[in-house]
Structure 1
C-alpha cells in the first residue's frame, strides 16, 4: 500500500512539471529558450542592439585641424570644444560637401552620434553642421576605378596610419605606396629615405567628392624591387 502511494505521488509531480514547462511565457520555459536560440544569452535590458538606434547630441567649437584616413583622404576634423578636442568623422566621398563649412579656424555648430573606435577613443559621426543635415547614405555611383602602374621612385619618408604603425612610403613622385605591416617588418632598414625602389600595383583614382591630401597618388603594391631584388607581396 505504501509503495502504491509513493508511486502515485511521483506520477502526479511529474505530470505537474510537464504542465508547467508547456505553458508559454514562463521564465525558463521552452518558449523563452527558443526565442533567444540555443546557447545565446538574453539581450541586456536597456542596451541597443548593434546597428540599432543611436542618440544624436550637439557640439559646438572651433575647427582646429583636418583629419585624413590611411589613404590620405579627408574624412574628419577636430573641433576644440571647451578644453576638449573632439574628432568629427564622415564618409570620405562627402569631403567636398563638408569642406566649406569646416574650414580651419571657423566656429561650427554640429550634431552627431558618439562612437567608440577599436583603439578605445571616442569619435563623433557627423549628422549635421551649421543646421544643414549631411547626406550620409551610401554612394549611388560606382566606386573609383583602379589602374595598374609600374614605376620607380625615391623614398621621401615613411608614412604611419592612425594606429601609429608604418603602413607605406611616400615617394618623390607624389606617390603614397601602401604596404602591409608584415611587409614593412620584413624589409626593415631596406626602406630608408633616399633609397630608390621599383614597384607595381593598383593606383586608386580619386572619387569625385573626395579631397586628397597633397593630391597624392595612392598605390597598393603588388611587387616591390629593393636593392635589385624583386619581391612578390603576399
Structure 2
C-alpha cells in the first residue's frame, strides 16, 4: 500500500474518532444537566413553601390571622364569648341567694300569664324576679303571696333601668322549684288560624318604648314580628283600620293565668292589610 495514502487514512480515522468522542461527551453533559434540572424541579414541587411568620398570613373571615391560627377582631381572643341572648355576656355568671317574702305575682305580657313575682328581702331593695311562664303553676303551688322564700338567681338591669333577678330556683319550706325546660308534648298541637279585623285602639310597647303589637277595637291583640314593626313605622297609628290573619296563641302546659281574667284573643299575624296594602309579615 502507498505509505502517503495510508498515513492520510490513519489521520482521517483519528479525526473522525475524536469528533465522535466529543459528540458523546457533549450528549452526556446535556443529559446530566437535564437530569439535574428535573431533580431540582421535582424537589421544589415536593418541598412546601415555608410558613408565614405569625401575624403575617392572609386575612380570613375573622380578620388577620394571629398566633396558632386564631381569628382577629370578629372572633376575639380564644376562650372568650361574645354577648349572649338579650345582650348578656355568655360564660360564667354569679348566682345570688336572696331571702325574703314573696309579695305578689305579676304578668308582664299581653297574655295575662304570670311570668314574674315581687320579692321583699329582709333588708335591701325590693326585687322583681323573672321566671319562665311554664313554671307558673309549680311556683304558685310551692309559694303563695306572703310566704317566706329563698330565691337563687342572676341579677340583671333591664332596659328600663330597673334591677331584677333571672330565676334559677325557689325554696319555700320543704319545696324547691328549679328552672327546667318545659316538657314537650308527644303530639304537637295543631295551630288554629284566625282573622282579626278592626281599628287600632292601643299600641303596645316594650320597656324601651318600641311598638311590639296593637290592640284592636274588639280587644284582640295582634302581635307582629320586630322586622315588620320596624318597616311599618308610623303607619301603625291609633284609629287606623287593619285586618290580620294568623295563628291564635293557645295556653301552654304549666302556665298560670291572672285570676279573674279570661284568656285574651292573641293573634300572631302572618298577613296584615293596612292603608289599602296587604303585607306578608311572617
Assess same fold via TM > 0.5.
yes
Q: Which residue of 1 aligns with 2:136?
A: 95
Contiguous gaps of at least 5 residues in structure 2: 1-66, 72-76, 81-88
The structure-2 alpha-carbon separation of the partners of 1:118 and 1:111, relative to structure 1 and needing over 3 Å to count, comes to closer
How many angstroms apart in 2 are the aligned matches of 1:146 and 1:117? Answer: 35
- In 2 relative to 1, CA 90–138 (structure 1 residues): closer, same or farther, beyond 3 Å? same
Q: Pairwise mapping of residues 1-234 of structure 1 onto structure 2 (< 5 A)?
A: 38=70, 40-41=77-78, 50=90, 54-64=94-104, 66-69=106-109, 72-81=112-121, 82=123, 84-100=125-141, 106-116=146-156, 119=159, 121-131=163-173, 132-142=175-185, 145-212=190-257, 214=261, 215-233=263-281
What SS does structure 1 have at the residue aligned with 2:137? helix
- Structure with the larger RCO, 1 or 2 (CA within 8 Å, 6+ apart): 1
Q: CA RMSD in A?
A: 3.4
CA shift, 1:114, in A, is 1.9
Residues 153 and 181 of structure 1: is their aligned pair in 2 closer, same or farther, counting only changes over 3 Å?
same
- TM-score, normalising length from structure 2? 0.56
Gaps of 5+ in 1: 1-32, 44-48
Which of the two has higher C-alpha Rg?
2
The 3 A distance-change label for structure 1 pair 164 and 59 is farther
When normalised by structure 1's length, the TM-score is: 0.65
More strand by share: 1
Query: How many equivalent residue pairs?
Result: 194
Runs of 4+ in structure 1 displaced over 6 angstroms?
A: none
**Residues 64, 80 of structure 1: 8 Å contact kept:** no
**Residues 151, 50 of structure 1: alpha-carbon distance in 2 compared, 3 angstrom cutoff:** closer
